[in-house]
Amino acid sequence: MRKTRMFMIFFFALVLLFSITIVFAGNGEEEEGTSESVEKGPEPVELVFWWWGQQEAPGLEDWVNETVELFEKEYPHITVETVLQATENVIDDFITASAAGTPPDLQYFWNGIYHQEQVWMGYIEPLNDWIPAEELKHMYASELSNFQGKQYRAGWYLLPMTWIYNKKLFKEAGVPANMTPPKTWDEFIKVCEMLKKAGIIPIGAGFKDGWWGEHNTGHGLVQQEDHVADTTKLLVGEYKWSNPRWHEHWKRLEQLINADYINDDANSLELYPGMELLLTGKCAMTQSIGSYVPEAEKQLGVENVGVMKYPTFGIGKLAEMPIMDVQGVGISSQSKHKKEAAEFIRFMHRPDRLTAMWEMVKIFPANDTWDGEKYIEGPNLRTMWTWFQGENTAWIPNMIAWAFDSEVMHVAPQMMMTGATTDDIVKLAEEVIARWKEENPDLLESHKKWAGVK
């Protein structure tokens, strides 16, 4: 009996010991599993980036691919899918995808109204909560990227809006050094007349797709403005196009066309083929963009190419300022990975990536911390860089509603080539503005808020 009781005590002791061992073993396995989950890297993230720019800055695609490759090495849990968009799809595709709930995380945006309307639709995320203020303020995007105290784009690369001229043809026509380039409108007309008498087309242009007309307004109308908000005052009707001050740029264009200073086939050519007349030596001047200058220098020789501002005729405070536009990148408000998208934008602005943009593409990175003086060579490129460093003004067509842009600014040169006058353009402008205001009351109010116009 005693042996049986002792055996039972011994047996239960063994069972208890075995049970305790199992419990501790189980706890050990649980802690080990928890430790593994903590050590595991971040969850995989896939970013989608729709972009544009290879079209106006050849070589940018190589920079994008290299930037993505380096970013993915530094952030192994993030992959970035890039899609180069066609020019005609940049705006509409993002709007359509946003409406359907399937936008990319990162989107290329043109300046001003080309992205602000999407801000007003609620499709673009303000960057202020995702990028440190000290960094964001250096990612130059111009004042046209702001709305009610928030910034919706980071700058990517600068786009000086310029005129290019052929120094060799100027010399052949006998243009004196003090008018190379012309700085005032009177000098400009004298130079055009000298070129024409020498059998040289003074100005190369392509009106067919309308963009030359927008450029003409961008270079000319701004000269009458004291602030870029004057553009919105014209749009909303506070200022009138019938006032000679506000249609002087069309009057000057009419003068150039009537004097045969522009190629007579301009209505048959689009913007870039019109610019290319300069590259082939068929014209002496053309309005252009900064990213086009290296190609002009390559084709004509650095010594034969010069850059200039549109000759001054206006009376506004902005009349003599160089014009600096900027292309940019933003984040979709529907992105599920805003933090990672912002990190990619920050990576794009790292000093080594800014320098790589210049070395690979020869375009100016949109960041005022980049030491361009250290890298930029050549008088034309240095001149445009000083425009950025000094006082400059925005590209005002970026503030104008698309209906007015496409129905008035784009067609004005086309109409003048077939006999229309400035008065005809003014009448059209007032008709289009009146209709646009009536059809778009909400958009009208957003424009006012954006420009601070009552």
422: CATH: 3.40.190.10
In a shared domain, residues 261 and 382: no
Give the containing element (helix H, strand E) for 96.
helix 90-100
Q: Report if residue 244 sits inside a domain.
A: yes
Q: Report if residue 358 sits inside a domain.
A: yes
In a shared domain, residues 286 and 350: no
In a shared domain, residues 165 and 275: yes
Give the containing element (helix H, strand E) for 352.
helix 351-361
Q: What is the pLDDT along the chain (454 residues), one digit of tens a residue?
A: 433 333 333 334 444 444 434 333 444 443 333 333 334 568 999 999 999 999 889 899 999 999 999 999 999 999 999 999 998 899 999 999 999 999 999 999 999 999 999 999 999 999 999 999 999 999 999 999 999 999 999 999 999 999 999 999 999 999 999 999 999 999 999 999 999 999 999 999 999 999 999 999 999 999 999 999 999 999 999 999 999 999 999 999 999 999 999 999 999 999 999 999 999 999 999 999 998 999 999 999 999 999 999 999 999 999 999 999 999 999 999 999 999 999 999 999 999 999 999 999 999 999 999 999 999 999 999 999 999 999 999 999 999 998 999 999 999 999 999 999 999 999 999 999 999 999 999 999 999 999 998 8
> Total domain count for the chain?
2
> In the listed set 354, 374, 389, which residue is the last one of a domain according to the structure?
389
Question: Which domain range does residue 277 map to?
Answer: 160-323+395-451
Q: Report if residue 380 sits inside a domain.
A: yes
Q: Report if residue 6 sits inside a domain.
A: no
Other CB atoms within 10 Å distance of the CB of residue 389: 10
> In the listed set 368, 389, 410, which residue is the last one of a domain according to the structure?
389
Q: Report if residue 241 sits inside a domain.
A: yes
| Main-chain phi, psi angles of 147, to 5 degrees | -150, 120
Cα torsion angle, 386, 390, 393, 398, sign: positive
The DSSP 8-state label assigned to residue 407 in this structure reads I
In a shared domain, residues 301 and 189: yes
> In the listed set 389, 407, 427, which residue is the last one of a domain according to the structure?
389
Per DSSP, the three-state class of 97 is helix
How wide is the angle at C-alpha 167 spanned by C-alphas 162 and 171, nearest 5°? 145
In a shared domain, residues 218 and 319: yes
Strand-pair partners of 19: none
Per DSSP, the three-state class of 338 is helix
Are 348 and 366 in contact by the 8 Å Cβ rule? The answer is no
pTM for the full predicted model: 0.86
